[in-house]
Amino acid sequence: MRSPAVKFVYSYPYDRTMSGLIGKEWSFKNEGMVRKQIKLIESAWAKLEGNVLKEMPRATGLKWKVKEIRCYVNSYGVPFSDPLTITILTKTGSKKTMDRIIDNLVHELIHVFLSTSGFKSSQLKKFKKESPLTRTHIFVHALHKHILLKFFGEERLRKTVDFSNKIKSEKPEYARVWEIVESKGFENIIKEIKV
């Protein structure tokens, strides 16, 4: 199957609800801001989509099994993979950089890819001493590192790892995952995906 297309969408009820869940006040200006940002995201992603989405199956031997992926874009909240959701504002209300938005998108798309392409979750048992959140992200971060190095470069990878270290007090699992990916080698971990 060919790589899917990512369709960016805005849902006012979803954005309002997600903002409220993290204690942020939503207003109609959020909607206008997100809709403008979607156009910028679409433009940035159009230059990357084909290469990034084709690389996931090429690197792993797995195949995309979906034709289209809806990606909800919210003002506040936490990016996650189901439903695929990215956000444009930080917790403090400042706009995320386009690099950070794209990195969040790629990370969540890797989750979507692995969960829909036949990746065997039994692979996670190899890391049973780690927390569930850490286990879930080992294969994701290995593939993310591969993609970052191939299409974005060392500096972008460093910024991504640095961000995980920055939030270590809140979410130590993400920094731990990068330690594992570094010690085991991302190429070796990706080879295990193919098994």
Based on the fold, state whether residues 75 and 90 are members of the same structural domain.
yes
Confidence (pTM): 0.95
Using the predicted structure, report yes or no on whether residue 152 has a pLDDT greater than 70: yes
Residue with tokens 């995201």: 41
Using the predicted structure, report yes or no on whether residue 27 has a pLDDT greater than 80: yes
Please identify, among 116, 137, 161, the residue that sits at the C-terminal boundary of a domain: 116
Instruction: Quote the pLDDT of residue 161.
Output: 94
Measured from the Cβ of residue 160, the count of other Cβ atoms closer than 10 Å reads 22
Backbone angles phi and psi of 7, in degrees to 5: -110, 120
Average pLDDT value over all residues in the chain: 94
Based on the fold, state whether residues 29 and 49 are members of the same structural domain.
yes
Q: What is the pLDDT of residues 46-59, one digit of tens each?
A: 999 999 999 999 99
Based on the fold, state whether residues 49 and 62 are members of the same structural domain.
yes
Please identify, among 68, 84, 116, the residue that sits at the C-terminal boundary of a domain: 116
Of 81-85, 143-147, 160-164, least confident by mean pLDDT is 160-164
- The rounded distance, in Å, linking the Cα atoms of 78 and 22 is 9
Based on the fold, state whether residues 93 and 160 are members of the same structural domain.
no
Based on the fold, state whether residues 112 and 125 are members of the same structural domain.
no
Please identify, among 82, 116, 150, the residue that sits at the C-terminal boundary of a domain: 116
Based on the fold, state whether residues 56 and 130 are members of the same structural domain.
no
Instruction: Quote the pLDDT of residue 195.
Output: 58
Based on the fold, state whether residues 60 and 127 are members of the same structural domain.
no
Based on the fold, state whether residues 38 and 15 are members of the same structural domain.
yes
- Per the CB < 8 A criterion, the answer to whether 78 and 90 are in contact is no
- Per the CB < 8 A criterion, the answer to whether 79 and 137 are in contact is no
Based on the fold, state whether residues 20 and 36 are members of the same structural domain.
yes
Using the predicted structure, report yes or no on whether residue 1 has a pLDDT greater than 70: no
Residue with tokens 């930080």: 90
Read off the pLDDT of each residue in 129-135 and give the average, rounded to a whole number: 94
- The rounded distance, in Å, linking the Cα atoms of 2 and 16 is 34
Using the predicted structure, report yes or no on whether residue 135 has a pLDDT greater than 90: yes
Candidates 184, 89, 188, 181; CA nearest to 144 is 181
Number of domains in the chain: 2
Q: Is 167 exposed, middle or buried (0-12, 13-18, 19+ CB in 10 A)?
A: exposed
Strands 84-87 vs 80-81: parallel, antiparallel or unpaired:
antiparallel
Based on the fold, state whether residues 132 and 83 are members of the same structural domain.
no
Based on the fold, state whether residues 32 and 76 are members of the same structural domain.
yes
- The rounded distance, in Å, linking the Cα atoms of 12 and 80 is 18
Based on the fold, state whether residues 49 and 109 are members of the same structural domain.
yes
Domain of residue 64 covers 5-116
